[in-house]
């Protein structure tokens, strides 16, 4: 009987030990954060950072990592295999290239928000610039590099539509993204710049003097989609859906974006 009792005691001890190990493993797995990488247009920086704070507060096991930049540059990085889970572009053409290559599934993408293109000058302007036609008075004008920066492409389209481009192109200072254009205007390194309304609203060092007529450029639409081959499809899908939620849309509109749906 004593041997049987000792044997049962050992079995019970082993069972408790194994159960404890299993619980510890589950706790380790539960505590391990899932990281989601989002490549997004620079103009989305402020709104997405606010959304990140809201989402991570509700999902303690999720960490959102952002990679902000020009949409063309980001699309190129993704096509070359950069580890990205979600792409949020400021232009449809850059985004569509990835859909055509099969890197983003069309069913897992949508046009989410829109924007406006505005002309900005330093708060303490040296020149009287009130319209795009007044840019002939400027010595230096900044826009994003049209081939890589959608805002620059839209600005060039507006200038061409208004037949201003030939007279302005020698004055243009190209920037890597809209935030750099904004910085050039803020510091007085240029007399004026073309940026998104959402970026202009973040600065007190510049003022908006005109808005480009929508008929002068391609519609400013921001598509978003999930990149294939993700290691955490469930968590990524949840965040992708959250970016479409009423909570997120309120944040986007707060920063000047337009809802499309």
Binding residues for molybdate: 43, 71, 151, 178, 196
Cα 202 from Cα 182, distance rounded (Å):
10
Binding residues: 43, 71, 151, 178, 196
In this structure, what are the phi and psi dihedrals at residue 94, rounded to the nearest 5 degrees?
A: -65, -40
The secondary structure of 19-41 as a DSSP string is HHHHHHHHHHHHHSPEEEEEEEE
Here the contacts of 170-174 (C-beta below 8 Å, separation 24 or greater) are: 171/135, 171/138, 171/139, 171/140, 171/141, 172/140, 172/141, 172/142, 172/143, 173/140, 173/141, 173/142, 174/142, 174/143, 174/144, 174/145
Q: How many helices (H) and strands (E) does the chain have?
A: 10, 11
The 10 Å CB-count burial string (b at 16+, else e) for 92-107 is bebbbbbbeeebbeee
Distance of alpha carbon 165 from alpha carbon 66, whole angstroms: 35
Quote the CA–CA distance of 111 and 103 in Å, as a whole number: 17
Residues 152, 73 contacting (CB under 8 angstroms): no
Q: From residue 165, give the alpha-carbon distance in Å to each of 131, 170, 193, 231.
A: 15, 9, 14, 46
């Amino acid at each position: 009987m004593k041997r049987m009792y000792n044997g049962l005691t050992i079995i019970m001890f082993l069972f408790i030990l194994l159960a404890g190990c299993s619980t510890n493993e589950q706790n380790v797995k539960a505590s391990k954060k899932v990281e989601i990488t989002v490549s997004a247009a620079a103009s989305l920086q402020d709104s997405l950072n606010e959304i990140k704070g809201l989402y991570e507060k509700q999902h303690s096991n999720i960490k959102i990592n952002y990679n902000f930049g020009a949409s063309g540059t980001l699309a190129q990085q993704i096509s070359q295999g950069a580890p990205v889970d979600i792409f949020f572009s400021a232009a449809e053409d850059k985004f569509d290239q990835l859909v055509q290559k099969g890197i983003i599934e069309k069913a897992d993408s949508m046009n989410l928000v829109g924007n406006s293109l505005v002309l900005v000058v330093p708060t303490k302007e040296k020149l009287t610039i009130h319209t795009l036609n007044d840019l002939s008075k400027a010595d230096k004008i900044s826009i994003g590099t049209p081939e890589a920066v959608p805002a620059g492409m839209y600005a060039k389209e507006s200038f061409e539509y208004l037949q201003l481009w030939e007279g302005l192109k020698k004055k243009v200072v190209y920037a890597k993204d809209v935030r750099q254009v904004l910085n050039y205007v803020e510091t007085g390194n240029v007399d004026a710049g073309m940026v998104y309304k959402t970026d202009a609203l973040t600065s007190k060092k510049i003022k908006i003097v005109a808005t480009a007529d929508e008929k002068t450029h391609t519609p400013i639409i921001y598509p978003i989609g999930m990149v294939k081959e993700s290691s955490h499809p469930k968590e990524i899908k949840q965040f992708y859906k959250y970016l479409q939620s009423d909570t997120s849309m309120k944040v986007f509109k707060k920063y000047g974006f337009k809802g499309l749906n």
